[in-house]
Amino acid sequence: MSDSVAGPSTPSRKRSKWQLSDDDELQQLTINPAKRRVKTKHGKEPAVTVPAPPKNIPVARNSLHSVYVPPRTRHPPIIPSRSVYCYERLNQIEEGSYGVVFRAKDKQTGDIVALKKLKLDEEKNGFPITALREVNALMTCRHQNVVGIREVVVGDTLTQVFVVMDFIEHDLKSLLTLMPSPFLQSEIKTLMLQLLSAVKHCHANWILHRDLKTSNLLMNNRGTIMVADFGLARRYGDPVGVGGMTQLVVTLWYRAPEILLGAEKYSTAVDMWSVGCIFAELLLKEPLFQAKNDLELISMIFKLLGPPTNNSWPEYSSLPLAKTITLPSPQPHQFRQKFQYMTTAGIDLLMSMLAYDPAQRISAEEALEHPYFTESPLPKHPDLFGSFPSAAAGEKKRKVFDSPSAPARAADFKLLTEFDMI
């Protein structure tokens, strides 16, 4: 007679699955599952039955977990949000359209963190989808070069929600402004490798950042950069969602030409265009395209890259706004003139990132393998980067004293020394 397959209402208490390590699990090789029978309230057998399971089924595997099925213990438990009062507020870092960012200290561990307060006050449709995308994207894209989300904490009311992130001392925009001289080639390579690694990871997890720019790249005093502000991030692929993808993405100076020309569908290539603009900014110590509006930006792009052709961008003519723009006469690109001290490999990488056609634009994965990163000078180790005072942490820039001038005449110097010796 066949037994009904109806296990207990809680998973079996087999310790290996919940508490033991993989090694302990390997020692338990076989088990005889007891026959289980579930009675209904009326003492009847369940209506649907399946044959009894085979005997002596091994519980543990003779090999460790595959990378695709990590041990259950790696999964986080279901834990409610903690109170924001677990943190002590130190100072306000910045305020934007999305909300306020505070520097705070975890009362339990003493860790310094950044608390980003989400704007939820006048929400008629519940929790904003944009805030949800941001939190979800940060939780999905855990990586050493993506700012770490620690948790989301709540205040006294349902509208007080704070994202707790690692506190990072600087943002790249401020650093570029304050630095007396630009980053070295070896340093730029290190920064670019880290940025590309983060972007590759986001794209591998089906996340588009859609707002990559130097002010959204944070850098600590150990030469590590982290991608931050996933406020415009969203999943790409399927489903695209109701109403398609918005064109109001990416800060103007870093916006890809396909978005400028009204493309209804775009993908990972928009982030790669932004990466190209950041690369150029690191080299020039100022933004590549400092345009005031869309039209000016398009003309600046056309000037640097030369106008698009059927070869460089086959889909150009089919874009919604292409008909509204008069193309200038064909001319060669101006990369060599703009970046005089770049190697051929460096120019090639930059041009690959700033390719007109999204399909021809280099991916983050391909860019990481580019010869530019293996030619001399090699990338500098992050630990060898210099450190800077952090404005966000309230550190003051050390006052620069005028160095004393050299003595005007040797005779005066002699007088001084003689005087000192009296």
Q: Which of residues 64-83 bind another protein (CB under 8 A)?
A: 65-70, 72, 74-81
Residue 48 found at the interface with another protein (CB under 8 A): yes
Q: What is the DSSP string of 122-188?
A: T-SSSS-HHHHHHHHHHHH---TTBPPEEEEEE-SSTT-EEEEEE--SEEHHHHHHH-SSPPPHHHH
Q: How far, in Å, CA of 263 to CA of 318, rounded?
A: 9
Residue 119 found at the interface with another protein (CB under 8 A): no
| Residue 211 annotated to the active site | yes
Residue 10 found at the interface with another protein (CB under 8 A): yes
* End-to-end CA separation in angstroms for the chain: 117
The region of 36-44, 94-102, 340-348, 414-422 touching another protein under the rule CB under 8 A is 36-44
Cβ neighbors of 371 (< 8 A, separation 6 or more) are 345
Nearer to another protein, 198 or 298 (CB): 198
* x-marked contacts with another protein along 393-412 as a string, rule CB under 8 A: --------------------
Nearer to another protein, 19 or 97 (CB): 19
Residues numbered 201-220 forming contacts with another protein, rule: CB under 8 A: 204-205
Quickly count: other Cβ atoms within 10 Å of residue 379's Cβ: 17
Residues numbered 222-261 forming contacts with another protein, rule: CB under 8 A: 234-235, 239-242
Beta bridge partners of 102: 92, 115
Q: Which of 77, 87, 90, 233 is nearest to 160 (CA)?
A: 87
The region of 25-33, 218-226, 301-309, 344-352 touching another protein under the rule CB under 8 A is 25-33
Cα–chain center distance at 276: 16
Residue 180 found at the interface with another protein (CB under 8 A): no
Quickly count: other Cβ atoms within 10 Å of residue 355's Cβ: 19
Residue 40 found at the interface with another protein (CB under 8 A): yes
Residue 58 found at the interface with another protein (CB under 8 A): yes
* x-marked contacts with another protein along 137-166 as a string, rule CB under 8 A: --xx----------xx-x---x--------
Q: How far, in Å, CA of 280 to CA of 34, rounded?
A: 67
Nearer to another protein, 17 or 303 (CB): 17
Cα–chain center distance at 82: 25
At 51 the three-state DSSP class reads: coil
Residue 6 found at the interface with another protein (CB under 8 A): yes
Dmax (CA) of the chain:
117
Q: How far, in Å, CA of 280 to CA of 286, rounded?
A: 8
Catalytic residue among 3, 24, 121, 211: 211
Residue 264 found at the interface with another protein (CB under 8 A): no
Residue 105 found at the interface with another protein (CB under 8 A): no
Q: What's the min distance (Å) between Cβ of 155 and another protein?
A: 11
Residues numbered 123-142 forming contacts with another protein, rule: CB under 8 A: 123, 125-127, 129, 132, 135-136, 139-140
Residues tagged active-site:
211
